[in-house]
Structure formats: structure tokens, C-alpha cells
């Protein structure tokens, strides 16, 4: 987990002069100031992963874009959060996510409650410029209560982190490389045969899409109860 010190730093972000504590990320500062930087993998109460690349920002003097969620502020930093370059980049990220797997909103349990769908709307993504890849992924419905549909997974790794950092079960992990990467339970055993899963459902409720869902839900019925997690997280860190 991120550690902050008491030292105060002066930075400029989105044209606003601001003070930040040493150890804060650019995203922390932006959110404290009410500035919008889109994210899909960040989740309050979990460590930063820098997985989705939506929060990329420009920092003066740095030749490449940096992820706001995983970049600590430095004294005198000048951050641009909505230049045409980063806005175009973020749209492109969403387009690539949509083209990469099989996101069929019309038949999805999370339709209307999906962060990917919401983010696409927010960023004005109306279509993708890239051909859909239509990969073949089997649904893992072996668990008695939950299902995993890799067709809808964006590899944000929230499930992996919540399982390790909050539940302590470490059932989920990432396997494979590049385009073949996927999250898997235990040593790629069917979820229903996992010996580590506690069936706590935290992974279900932090999943930003319909990739992880409660079985028996019809289209649009998968409501995520993500507000519960920060409390669980703070209870755990306070040892209660």
C-alpha cells in the first residue's frame, strides 16, 4: 500500500496550482481537487496497478505519457490532464478494449451497470476504428454461485488484487502473455474446483464489467456493490 509522508510539495495540475503530500500520486491530487482523470483499474482500497492506461497524463519535461494512478508527485511538477493528445489516447484505449474481446452489451448481465460502457459514453467513443478480434473464450460457470466470462474481461486485475489484498485468498491471478493474457483461478483449475476460493464475492463486486457475475442474473441485473469495499479495506488495515 502507498505510504505518504508529511512533507508538502507544490505542483501544477490541470492549470491549477496545488499542494500535495509527498507520496501522493497524481491521481490522488487530481481527485482531491475534483479534477476528472478517467480510470478503470483503480479501486479505492486496493493498490495501484497501472493496468488500464486510461489515466495517462502529460508531465512537462517528460517525453512520454505517465499513468496518474502509479506516478508519485514531485515538487514543481506541471501535469496536463486533458490535452488533445491524452484525450485521443484515452479514446483509443477504450476502442482497443472494445475490439479486443467480445463485449456484447445487449446480452450482458452488467448492461447499464458497466464501468467500461459508462466510460466509453463519457469519453465519446461511439465506434471503434479497429477490427473486432472475436477471440474464442469459454465461460467458466463451474462455481455454484458465480460465473467468469473472459469475453468481457479487460484485465484490470481488480479481482486479483482484492482477492490477495483484502480477502487474503489469492485465488485469482494473471496467466499468459500479451494478447493471450487472462485471469485464472488457482492453477487454471475450473473456479468450481478451486480449493482457495472462499466464495466471498468481493471479486464479483469490484469487477468493472460483466466478466465476473452472480449466476441466475438476467440481462442488466448485475448490480455491483462496490461501496462496501473501502470499509472492508479500512477494517482490515486497522486490524479489526
Q: Taking CB under 8 A as the rule, does residue 107 contact other proteins?
A: yes
Q: Taking CB under 8 A as the rule, does residue 182 contact other proteins?
A: no
Q: Taking CB under 8 A as the rule, does residue 221 contact other proteins?
A: yes
Contact 9, 19 (CB under 8 A): yes
Instruction: Report the residue from 189, 220, 228, 232 that binds other proteins according to the rule CB under 8 A.
Output: 220
Q: Taking CB under 8 A as the rule, does residue 189 contact other proteins?
A: no
Contact 119, 91 (CB under 8 A): no
Please identify, using beta-carbon distances, which residue of 107 and 199 lies nearer to other proteins: 107
DSSP code for 70: T
Q: Taking CB under 8 A as the rule, does residue 215 contact other proteins?
A: yes
Please identify, using beta-carbon distances, which residue of 16 and 141 lies nearer to other proteins: 141
Q: What are phi and psi of 132, to 5 degrees?
A: -65, 140
Site for other proteins in 33-62 (CB under 8 A): none
Strand bridging mode 8-13 / 16-21? antiparallel
What's the closest the beta carbon of residue 121 comes to other proteins, in angstroms? 18
Among 57, 65, 51, which residue's Cα sits nearest to residue 27? 57
Tell me the sheet residues that pair with 18. 11
SS3 159: helix
Q: Which residues bind other proteins (CB under 8 A)?
A: 106-107, 109, 111, 138-139, 141-142, 147, 149, 192, 215-221
Amino acid at each position: 500500500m502507498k505510504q505518504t509522508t508529511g512533507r508538502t510539495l507544490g505542483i501544477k495540475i490541470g492549470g491549477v496550482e496545488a499542494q500535495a503530500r509527498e507520496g501522493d500520486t497524481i491521481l490522488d491530487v487530481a481527485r482531491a481537487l475534483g479534477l476528472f482523470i478517467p480510470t478503470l483499474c483503480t479501486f479505492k482500497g486496493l493498490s495501484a496497478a497501472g493496468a488500464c492506461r486510461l489515466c495517462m497524463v502529460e508531465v512537462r519535461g517528460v517525453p512520454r505519457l505517465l499513468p496518474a494512478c502509479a506516478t508519485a508527485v514531485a515538487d514543481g511538477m506541471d501535469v496536463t490532464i486533458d490535452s488533445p493528445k491524452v484525450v485521443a489516447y484515452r479514446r483509443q484505449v477504450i476502442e482497443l478494449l472494445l475490439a479486443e474481446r467480445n463485449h456484447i452489451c445487449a446480452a450482458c448481465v452488467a448492461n447499464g451497470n458497466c464501468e467500461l460502457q459508462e466510460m466509453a459514453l463519457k469519453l465519446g467513443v461511439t465506434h471503434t476504428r479497429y477490427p473486432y478480434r472475436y477471440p474464442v473464450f469459454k465461460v467458466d460457470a463451474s462455481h455454484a454461485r458465480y460465473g467468469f466470462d473472459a469475453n468481457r474481461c479487460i484485465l484490470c486485475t481488480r479481482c486479483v488484487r482484492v482477492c490477495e489484498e483484502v480477502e487474503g485468498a489469492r485465488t485469482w491471478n494473471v496467466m499468459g502473455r500479451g494478447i493471450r493474457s487472462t485471469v485464472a483461478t488457482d492453477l487454471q483449475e475450473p473456479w468450481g474446483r478451486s480449493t482457495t476460493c472462499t466464495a466471498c464475492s468481493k471479486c464479483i463486486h469490484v469487477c468493472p464489467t460483466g466478466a465476473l457475475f452472480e449466476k441466475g442474473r438476467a440481462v442488466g441485473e448485475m448490480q455491483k456493490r462496490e461501496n462496501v469495499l473501502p470499509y472492508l479495506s479500512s477494517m482490515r488495515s486497522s486490524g479489526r
